[in-house]
Amino acid sequence: MVMCYHGNSSKGAAQYLLQQGYDVVYSIDGGFEAWQRQFPAEVAYGA
C-alpha cells in the first residue's frame, strides 16, 4: 500500500513498484487527505 498526502505521487510510486515485479500494489485514491475525511476519529495528530 502506497499513500501520499493527496494521492497523486503515490500513483506513480505504485506504478513503479508494479514495473519492478510486485504483484499486488495499492495506491490510496485521494491520499491521506481522503483517509482523514473518511475516518476522522482514526487519524492521530502530532504522532
pLDDT 10s digits, 1-47:
999 999 999 999 999 999 999 999 999 999 999 988 888 876 666 65
pLDDT at 25: 97
Catalytic residue among 1, 2, 3, 4, which? 4
Q: Name every residue whose Cβ is closer than 8 Å to that of residue 16 and which is 6 or more positions away in sequence.
A: none
- The residue extents of the domains of the chain are 8-42
Compute the 3-state secondary structure of the chain and give helix, strand, coil in percent, each to the nearest 5: 50, 5, 45
pLDDT at 43: 61
pLDDT 10s digits, 9-21:
999 999 999 999 9
Partnered with residue 2 across adjacent β-strands are 27
- The C-alpha atoms of residue 16 and residue 20 are separated, in whole angstroms, by 6
pLDDT at 44: 64
Specify whether 23 is catalytic.
no
Rg (CA), the chain: 12
